Chain A
């Protein structure tokens, strides 16, 4: 996954706000990159660009060799469905559907429903016993597991997580990160936005954003040590 000179600007009244400016990033398979920065620094904007939920003002996003910024809408939808998994802070599960149905949702749109795949992915994230439960009856950690399973069901190459643990208790938070470690070991690339420096410490590499720009840190790869020490 590579991003080249990405800009995303918004018109706010007469002035132009650059939510993202001059941004470059490359992520390898099996790598977990943390995106940190204050509220409003552009983390969500960045993930939306990578995740093909929004189109950049200028610049390129290349995923698995495809320049997604050049894809027409219809192909973009299919590309996102097949190559990218998304996880959000608020889980965004559908309350009327069972765990298995929530997990299978992306397959529904890909017209490739596969019960076995749903079962396997639920087992993988530790939901094997709750497949028929409704999301409302689960605790936050389990809800996020459902969201992770849903993000993974189409076997994406890239997982994007926007503050995935922001709403979770400490233990659930650690469990989610354990799942991420496990996925990364299988070659999945993960980009995770977070406020939490301790969590960032579990990423292989951390990018800090300020006002939409990437801060160059000498210690980018050694963020964990640098920050956990202070």
Chain B
């Protein structure tokens, strides 16, 4: 027998109420944990994506830069085009290491529930994405896009197409053309995985966009010069938008931050409500058990014992609820993630919510805090109960 055991027994005495309280605590912890781990996963994913890009600037036709950028990153179709000469001019500018043109075109097949994004690229693109690897471990060489009907598949694109082997042929009825798979890329964890890479020339011909491109991705010799080069580009070309990727990352984070502030306000309210719920449960229990507390006092318990007993009960409630909530959240994470991905722009492709021990720790601390605070008042009330009056009460 210990005080803890006594506390647990008291909780079991009213199983329905105890369960309800635990469920409410669990729910709020689950929400808190999901949001926390989503957030850290999201930022990590975003960061990784940005780093991997090795792309410092992006030159696109005029339009809302963020819309355009996320179109490029998330896929879709861009209405305006640039002339491909722009890419060559940029390549010749000071501070530019690589300027890779690309032409993006989407083939929508609503009946299959899929949109295939074809990206016309040349060897500069492979140079730019120097972290790409084929699924046999080799670095993709320019030879992969030398044939007109070549198609290099991103990992996800290959999965969707159910292609595994080099040389397999893909028939695209919309443009009445056939492509031959020259390679399949290893997953990169970014949007790149979803694309069908074809030679730029082929894309321009097939989609009837000779001489056009939709974006120039630029790597600089010195990334810290991004602002200067962007200004120079701006001065030189009319009708283009220059997107600095670090800025884009910044505004995505800012956007996320404000969304997060709102989310955390909601979480704070949810937690406060569950804290008040716990407080209420315990207060009710203390009033109902006035006589029992009197008995404990009469059999040798001091005020401190009673205080600890009720406090232990409160903590037990919140800790059990908290752990249940963490478990629930971990299990439900996948589902929650799918929902969140739908609503958050530029969601990284990878799993964003993994079991994050840091977030779990924060949750445990938060719920402990709630338990400790919510327990104080009922425990004080219990400790203040006067023995003889309690014994007399019915």
Contact = CB atoms under 8 A, between A and B. Distances in A.
Interface in A101-115: 101, 104-106, 108-110, 113
Instruction: Name the prevailing secondary structure of the A interface residues.
Output: helix
Interface stretch (A63-71, A92-100, A175-183, A204-212): A92-100
A94 B296 CA distance: 9
Contacts of B387: 53-54
Q: Is the interface of B mostly helix, strand, loop or mixed?
A: helix
Interface residues of B, number: 24
B299 A53 contact: no
A223 interface: no
Interface stretch (A32-40, A76-84, A125-133): A76-84
Contacts of A108: 1-3, 6
Interface string B300-326: 111101000000000000000000000
Nearest to A151: B299
A119 to B, nearest CB: 14
B288 to A, nearest CB: 13
Given A101-B1, A113-B1, A96 B300 contact: no
Contacts of B127: none
B388 interface: yes
B300 A92 contact: no
A48 B388 contact: yes
A144 interface: no
A150 interface: yes
A77 B300 contact: yes
A60 interface: no
Given A105-B300, A109-B299, A96 B391 contact: no
Given A88-B391, A96-B10, A96-B12, A106 B303 contact: no
A86 interface: yes
Nearest to B12: A96
B292 interface: yes
Give chain A's interface residue range (CB within 8 Å of chain B).
20 to 34
Contacts of A41: none
B302 A77 contact: yes
Given A53-B388, A92-B291, A97 B299 contact: no
Contacts of A165: none
A109 B303 CA distance: 11
B392 to A, nearest CB: 9
A74 B2 CA distance: 21
B295 A92 contact: yes
B13 interface: yes
B313 to A, nearest CB: 13
Interface string B131-161: 0000000000000000000000000000000
Given A104-B1, A105-B296, A108-B2, 19 more contacts: A73-B303, A77-B301, A77-B303, A78-B302, A80-B300, A86-B298, A86-B299, A92-B294, A92-B295, A92-B391, A96-B12, A101-B1, A106-B300, A109-B301, A109-B302, A109-B305, A150-B299, A151-B299, A154-B300
